[in-house]
Amino acid sequence: MLLIPAIDLKGGRCVRLREGKAEAVTVYASDPVEVARRWESEGARWLHVVDLDGAFSGCPVHLEAVAAIVAAVKIPVQVGGGIRSREAAEELLALGAARIVLGTAAVRERDLLRDLLARFGPEKVAVSVDARRGKVAVGGWEEETALEAVALGEELRALGVRWTVFTDIQRDGTLQGPNLEAVANFARSLPGLNVIASGGVSKLADLLELRKLAPLGVKGAIVGKALYDGRIRLAEALRLMEE
């Protein structure tokens, strides 16, 4: 199972939000490139970069920072946040992003999702399924829809999506532990879909529990706050996940 460090960008800095709330922000570093190099040097095989300002505004804001991160490391970088047009998707992929992650656009603009899947293929285009109490949220997680997470997953799978990032919003940035039941239910209900779990990881034991879900299709876990707070040491966690 992949362990993927998160780099969330807001105001040009590396931050973490609590439950996706813009006002509940903790700044961890002023240089995201330095952070990316650190995670690579400690053994990360992928990075997960989120343009938070882009997610809230509806279009990518930190293109220069993304380009600098991609140029600074040799490992693949997946990028999300505010990708709601073909132009935005094409620009990020042209900058060297290994994979883009759509959220709001995948819910509201299915034709765009179809177009991007056809143009770039399912290994380049993932979808973030962000749920609060089982219901999908969009627009930087500020707007809750009536759409159930599993129902969205079924539609995405039918369209040819292969990779999803499943986030329990109420656990994100809280260090309360991942919502294992929700992750398991999502993955179990959608055989053939590769799921990357996100939100709530606080300790090595959480990662071991997520690893148990690998037979259901859980292929990775994104970790943010626990790495920045030093609760999890990346090199140690990577060894654990690969044993």
Residue-level pLDDT at 75: 98
Is residue 232 predicted with pLDDT exceeding 70? Answer: yes
**Contacts by residues 138-142 (CB-CB < 8 Å, ≥ 24 positions apart):** 138/103, 138/104, 138/107, 138/108, 139/55, 139/56, 139/58, 139/104, 140/20, 140/22, 140/52, 140/55, 140/56, 140/104, 141/20, 141/55, 141/169, 142/56
Residue-level pLDDT at 19: 54
Is residue 23 predicted with pLDDT exceeding 80? Answer: no
Q: Write down the pTM of the prediction.
A: 0.92
Q: Which of 3.10.20.740, 3.20.20.70, 3.30.70.890, 3.40.50.150 would CATH assign to domain 2-242? A: 3.20.20.70
Residue-level pLDDT at 243: 74
Quote the tokens at residue 118: 């056809």
Q: Tell me if residue 53 is catalytic.
A: no
**Which one from 8, 51, 53, 206 is the annotated catalytic residue?**
8
| Contact indicator for 83, 60 with CB cutoff of 8 Å | yes
Give the pLDDT mean for 169-183.
85
pLDDT category at 22 given cuts 50, 70, 90 is low
Q: Tell me if residue 111 is catalytic.
A: no
pLDDT category at 27 given cuts 50, 70, 90 is confident
pLDDT category at 56 given cuts 50, 70, 90 is confident
Domain layout of the chain by residue ranges: 2-242
pLDDT in tens, 112-150: 999 999 999 999 999 999 988 888 988 767 788 889 999
Residue-level pLDDT at 236: 94
| Contact indicator for 102, 126 with CB cutoff of 8 Å | yes
Quote the tokens at residue 83: 């990708």
Residue-level pLDDT at 21: 63
**Which one from 51, 53, 130, 206 is the annotated catalytic residue?**
130
Residue-level pLDDT at 190: 97
Is residue 20 predicted with pLDDT exceeding 70? Answer: no
